[in-house]
Amino acid sequence: MTTVVHAFRDEAAEAQRLANALQVPLAFVDVHAFPDGEIVPCVPAPAATTIVYRSLDQPNTKLVELLLAVDAWRSNGAQRLILVAPYLPYMRQDTAFRTGEPVSQRVIANLLDAAFDRIVTVDPHLHRTQSLTELFPTCQCTHLFGADALIPHLRAFPPPAGTVVVGPDVESDPWVRRIAAPLRLVHTTMRKRRQSDTEVELLAPADFDPAGCPVLLVDDICSTGCTLRKATSLLKSLGAGEITIFITHFLGGRKVLEELLRAGASRVLSTDSTADVTDGIHLADLLAHALREPG
């Protein structure tokens, strides 16, 4: 046995889908918690190439578990460690915004770069950083797109005629185009002015008239849901038809899902990069295809 997938038990379903797609065995890491809160992971026997599935939402606990487990994998014979982390945390803080703050992106990237030989992730939320190779000089990196997992779903269940693909801000334009182009759909993006961590103002393009049109509203990350709620409300005020939301990384949980539906969304889709409370788009085939290719 030269390749195996290892995972933590809280991501059993996602890891099993990946192992099935790769046609390799799956084994689980067990984590023991001591009364003082410290933890110790116990890894199964690694293969020469060990693929570690660990999406890193809720990162403060998961990162400690993961980095401790890396020592055990290496000590027990893993020659090549590949981290499949559909959600990669702390990528947004790429500068010190106030005196006294760390550059969190750099700190986390340095830790993971030293620990793994390859990292496969989906839609990392990069701003001023142009590519993952700037952050990970040692390990190989593969940057995948959640849109590429959505497209097969949309081919199997075509959106209504006249659907417009809309992004809530200019940063969403790459995802909008990646979905709209192969399906030959009309697309546009709004403009966003952020007023605080939870308050934004959105403006639709002057020539945009969605009246009566079904809308596919897409974004890479949803945590509070503020931007997507505002976008949904604005689209409804302009007379848009049925609104489906697609998010690569849905971090908001059931409360935010319910708020999006109350704002006027008919349906919310997201990938299974995080705990799935929406209609899930599975990433396993996309991840497996990338893992079969050279890093």
**Active-site hit among 192, 230, 236, 255:** 192
For residue 192, indicate whether it is catalytic.
Answer: yes
Calpha distance 9→95 (Å, rounded): 34
Calpha distance 165→180 (Å, rounded): 6
Handedness of CA 73, 22, 271, 28 (dihedral sign): negative
Element (H, E) at 255: helix 253-263
**E strands along the chain, which residues?**
3-8, 26-33, 39-42, 49-53, 80-84, 118-122, 140-144, 164-167, 186-189, 191-194, 200-203, 215-222, 243-250, 267-271, 279-281
- Both tokens of residue 116? 């793994």
Q: Which residues are catalytic?
A: 192
